[in-house]
Amino acid sequence: MDWARERQLPLSMFPDIPRNVEQDPQTVARAEAFVETMSVWQLAAFDLVAATTKSFIISLALMEGRLTVEQALSAARVDEHYQINTSGEIADVHGVDQLFVKLQLVSARNFFNLLRMP
């Protein structure tokens, strides 16, 4: 979380439980300013990760190399892991979904890495 604090992202971006949280206007302004600095290529990959993980922070961390794909996948699936632990896993659904999400994250991470090449 230190890297997120360096970007001056308040802890309200890290809710304790999955739920919609109204963000501080300064947080929204910082996020918008960050997104506006992206190239269309970075934005495309960032959007893929954000849509897949449903998380701006996980997307930012993966884009900046602060999380591995496995860490991003694990963070994005916290709620699902909770549901599995309390209600059980649905055969042939959770495993396939996890592979698809991992494929999306690996693709985006590789694209981010290509964009960093000189």
Query: Quick one: how far is CA 43 from the chain centroid?
Result: 13
Q: Indicate the domain borders of the chain.
A: 2-116
pTM, entire model: 0.69
pLDDT above 70 (res 35): yes
What count of other Cβ atoms lies within 10 Å of the Cβ of residue 84? 13
Fold (CATH) for 2-116: ATP12-like fold (1.10.3580)
| pLDDT tens per residue, range 69-90 | 999 988 888 777 666 677 766 6
| pLDDT tens per residue, range 1-30 | 676 667 666 545 454 545 566 778 888 888
SS3 94: helix
**Exposed/middle/buried for residue 4 (C-beta within 10 Å: 0-12, 13-18, 19+):** middle
Q: Which residues contact 109 (CB under 8 A, 6 or more apart)?
A: 62, 69
